[in-house]
Each structure stands twice: as C-alpha cells, then as structure tokens.
Amino acid sequence: MTRVLKFYLGISLILFSVFSVGFGAAADNGFKLGVVDTQGVFENFTKAQEANNILKTAEERLRDQLNAIQQEIATMEERLTKQKLFLDAPETETLQNDINLKRQELQRELEIGQESLIAKREELLAPLTQEIEGLLQQIGESEGYSLILEKRLVTLYVDPQYDLTDRVVTLLNDTYEKEKSKDAQQSAPAPETETGKEGEKSN
C-alpha cells in the first residue's frame, strides 16, 4: 500500500469516526452535508470535454510528429547497417553523426511538446476548476451547507440525497449553453431593415 493511499485511508477513517459520533447531534443543530464527485463533474461538463478534445488532438499531433522522426532514425540506421562494409571510416562517422543529431532532435521535440501540453492543460483546465469550486462555494453559502466533501476521497457510501454531483453538472452545462447562445447572438449579423431593403430597390 502506497504512502498516499495510506494517508487518504487514514483521513477517511478519521472523518468517518468523527461523522459517526457527531452526525446525529449535528443533524439536530441544522448540520447540512453534501458530497461531490469532482471527477464525474469534469467528465460530464461540456466545457471540460471540449478542452480535453483540444488536448487530445494536440497529443495526437505530437505523437505523429515524434513517430515520423523515429521512422527517419530507423531508416538512417538501416542504411548505415547495410552500407557500413562499403564505406570509409569518415563516411561511416558522418552517417552516425547524422543519426545522433536526429536523436537529439527527437528528444528536443519531445521535451518541447510535453512542456507545451502541460502549459495548455493548465491554461484550459485551471479556469474550469475555479468555476466548479466557485459554484460549490455559491451553493454552500446560499443553501446553508455546513460541509461539502469530495465524494471519492472520504466516502464509502453516501445517501443519494446528499450527492450534489448531477446537480452541479446540470448547472455548469446550463450556464455554458447560455454563454454560447449569447455569444452566437452577438456575433450574428444584424438583420436588414425594411428601409435598407427599399433603398437597395431604389438603387
């Protein structure tokens, strides 16, 4: 068992013990509990799905680019192997240097590509995390929740009435659809007026 798993298991057991002992009394005092599966929210949030599609496309492009370079290296190595017996030492050394340079290019493109993907992931997903956290805080404050927990981290079972996951997904997607509809209306060309049409006819 890894240290991280032991840590989370320990936290879960502590929280479970606290809730088991104090939940009955807390309920009498108006304690209100909610849980959210944030991974489930991300997987079903339309904006997050679109962001993941962008990242997936970029990853596929990087993979194709690296595969092309690897194929070039394989071709060069095959050529060197077949011609090695018929080449002088300087020519063999030149071919080997070309292979080494191509390998360096592969490593460089891999590092640049990985750094670009990490930066783009942060650019796309960090605002979505903030949006989800902001919505949860809004729900918690406006509806009087005492505590909202990460469902996958600290619960083995939860009554569905305390699970806010589907509701959060619905609110996020409804808000996003309204944003897209508003943007589409703003970018749409203005309709022609009757005066404009009459002016065109007179011309």
Is-contact 35 149, C-beta < 8 A?
yes
Distance CA 147, CA 35 (A): 8
In whole numbers, what is the pLDDT of the chain averaged over residues?
Answer: 83
Q: Which residues contact 77 (CB under 8 A, 6 or more apart)?
A: 99
Phi and psi, residue 55, nearest 5°: -65, -40
Which whole number is the average pLDDT over 181-200?
Answer: 67
Strand partners, 150: 36
Question: Which two tokens mark 52?
Answer: 């993941």
Across 175-192, average pLDDT: 81
Q: Say how many C-beta atoms besides its own lie within 10 A of residue 169's C-beta.
A: 21
Rounded Cα distance between 190 and 187, Å, is 9
Cα 180 from Cα 186, distance rounded (Å): 10
Q: Which residues contact 53 (CB under 8 A, 6 or more apart)?
A: none
Tokens read off for 5: 């798993």
Q: What pLDDT was estimated at residue 61?
A: 97
pLDDT digits (tens, 9 = 90+) for 64-74: 999 999 999 99
pLDDT band at 18 (very low <50, low <70, confident <90, very high): very low
How far, in Å, CA of 167 to CA of 50, rounded? 20
Question: What are the tens digits of pLDDT across the range 34-55?
Answer: 999 999 999 999 999 999 999 9
